[in-house]
């Protein structure tokens, strides 16, 4: 399930340039299938000739870890121009020690070692902290899908009702329809604009009657904030707090969820906050994480980084000093694994938001 555009790879390179000159070669989780007996198969994806530059690959699960000792490459065989150049199917036979994948409450972390760097690709399952795949029926697989949408290229792990291990594929069986109404703070419906989840790069068009209907990844979502882009002149982006929503979308299903705004958080004319200017690395993390942001030579004490739990409890808050370009968070042992939200407030008063995933040590 691979449709990946070269632009994404360039974006990863540019983002990681804040940390190093070039992003290291990496193996990507492409698809995972676990049958009724618990036997699993992992499909890895590679780009170009980078696979030859990877020193080693380690699989880490909630039950242990092991090195991949050998694998055979399968040439990219998709019909698109930007499929993986090569694939590899991994089972316990390819590992230095057998591992168990627990889709009821566990995770998989694929760590590529190259150029003195360790680059992870991570997904959680079931009730494990940070998971948005609470149920994985044995007839489904878990696939990473890259998809072009009105907000641009976006990607996610999702349920796939049409597993295709060893072969590239389109998005068949990986999407569902989310529909409903979008309400203003005064209880009336919005009649224009596009709204975007803050935590996901998904843009949804609002119809004149206040309704919406969008084909999005089959998975679970959580959101308590949306950004609405109003097409008036000048263009305006308004961030709203909403009654939290938590829809769970199975492949090819239709789920009705209303978005009810409760207050305005911020309004930004003409330009949307540059969410992509923030980079958190490594993410997911276990002991510490560094958030990189644009450096400003200003003593404006309004610039700060805060981190909170998904329920809003503040766990970290720090003023950014003049010329500072990054902040490292070292949570103590009382901070449990899970999803955390960081907010960066710049000197103009605009705030940007991102998601962190803390793993168990």
The pLDDT assigned to 150 comes to 60
Dump pLDDT digits (tens) for 85-143: 889 999 999 999 999 998 888 899 999 998 877 888 888 888 887 788 887 888 899 99
Residue 201's pLDDT band, with cuts at 50, 70 and 90, is: low
b/e code 221-240 from CB counts within 10 Å (16+ = b): bebbbbbbbbeeeeebbbbb
The pLDDT assigned to 152 comes to 60
**Residue range(s) occupied by CATH 2.60.40.1220 in the chain:** 275-358
The mean pLDDT value of the chain amounts to 81
CATH class, range 275-358: mainly beta
Q: How many CA atoms lie within 13 A of 281 on its CB side?
A: 16
The pLDDT assigned to 19 comes to 36
Q: Cβ(160)–Cβ(173) under 8 Å?
A: yes
Other C-beta atoms closer than 10 Å to the C-beta of 254 total 12
Give the whole-angstrom CA distance, residue 42 versus residue 46.
Answer: 13
Phi-psi region of 302 (alpha: psi -120 to 50; beta: other; left: phi over 0): alpha
* Three-state DSSP class for residue 62: coil
The pLDDT assigned to 274 comes to 42
Closest CA to 121 of 142, 152, 139: 142
Give the whole-angstrom CA distance, residue 163 versus residue 159.
Answer: 9
**Residue range(s) occupied by CATH 2.60.40.1120 in the chain:** 175-269
The pLDDT assigned to 322 comes to 74
The pLDDT assigned to 99 comes to 96
Closest CA to 302 of 346, 339, 358: 346
What is the third-level CATH fold of 175-269? Answer: Immunoglobulin-like (2.60.40)
Please give the DSSP secondary-structure letter assigned to residue 291. Answer: E
List the single range of 181-190, 202-211, 293-302 with lowest mean pLDDT: 293-302
Q: Cβ(162)–Cβ(169) under 8 Å?
A: yes
Tokens of 86: 């090569």
pLDDT at residue 275 is higher than 60 = no
Tokens of 124: 């959680």
pLDDT at residue 145 is higher than 90 = no
The pLDDT assigned to 318 comes to 87
pLDDT at residue 344 is higher than 70 = yes
The pLDDT assigned to 254 comes to 97
The per-residue DSSP string of 99-154 comes to: ----SSEEEEEEEEEETTEEEEEEEEEETSTT-S-----TT-EEEEEEEEETTEEE
Residue 2's pLDDT band, with cuts at 50, 70 and 90, is: very low
The pLDDT assigned to 277 comes to 56
The pLDDT assigned to 64 comes to 92
């Amino acid at each position: 399930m691979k449709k990946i555009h070269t632009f994404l790879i360039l974006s990863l390179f540019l983002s990681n340039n804040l940390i190093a000159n070039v992003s290291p070669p990496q193996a990507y989780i492409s698809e995972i299938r676990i049958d009724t007996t618990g036997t699993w198969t992992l499909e890895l994806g590679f780009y170009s000739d980078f696979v030859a530059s990877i020193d080693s690959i380690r699989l880490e699960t909630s039950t242990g870890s092991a090195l991949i000792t050998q694998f055979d490459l399968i040439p990219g065989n998709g019909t698109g121009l930007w499929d993986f150049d090569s694939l590899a199917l991994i089972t316990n036979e390819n590992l230095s020690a057998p591992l168990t994948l627990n889709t009821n409450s566990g995770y998989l972390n694929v760590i590529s070692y190259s150029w003195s760097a360790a680059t992870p690709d991570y997904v959680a399952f079931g009730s494990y902290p940070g998971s948005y795949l609470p149920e994985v029926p044995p007839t489904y697989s878990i696939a990473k899908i890259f998809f072009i949408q009105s907000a641009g290229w976006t990607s996610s792990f999702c349920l796939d009702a049409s597993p295709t291990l060893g072969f590239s594929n389109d998005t068949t069986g990986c999407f569902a329809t989310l529909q409903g109404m979008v309400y203003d703070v005064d209880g009336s419906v919005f009649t224009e604009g596009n709204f975007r989840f803050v935590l996901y790069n998904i843009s949804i068009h609002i119809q004149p009657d206040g309704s919406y209907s969008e084909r999005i990844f089959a998975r679970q979502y959580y959101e308590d904030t949306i950004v609405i882009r109003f097409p008036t002149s000048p263009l305006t982006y308004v961030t709203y707090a909403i009654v939290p929503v938590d829809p769970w979308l199975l492949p090819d299903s239709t789920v009705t969820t209303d978005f009810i705004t409760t207050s305005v958080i911020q309004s930004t004319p003409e330009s949307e906050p540059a969410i992509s200017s923030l980079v958190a690395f490594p993410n997911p993390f276990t002991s510490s994480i560094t958030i990189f942001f644009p450096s400003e030579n200003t003593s404006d004490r309004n610039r700060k980084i805060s981190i909170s739990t998904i329920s809003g409890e503040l766990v970290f808050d720090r003023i950014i000093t003049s010329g500072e370009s990054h902040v490292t968070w070292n949570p103590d042992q009382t901070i449990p694994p899970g999803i955390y939200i960081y907010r960066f407030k710049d000197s103009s008063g605009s705030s940007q938001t991102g998601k962190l995933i803390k793993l168990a040590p």
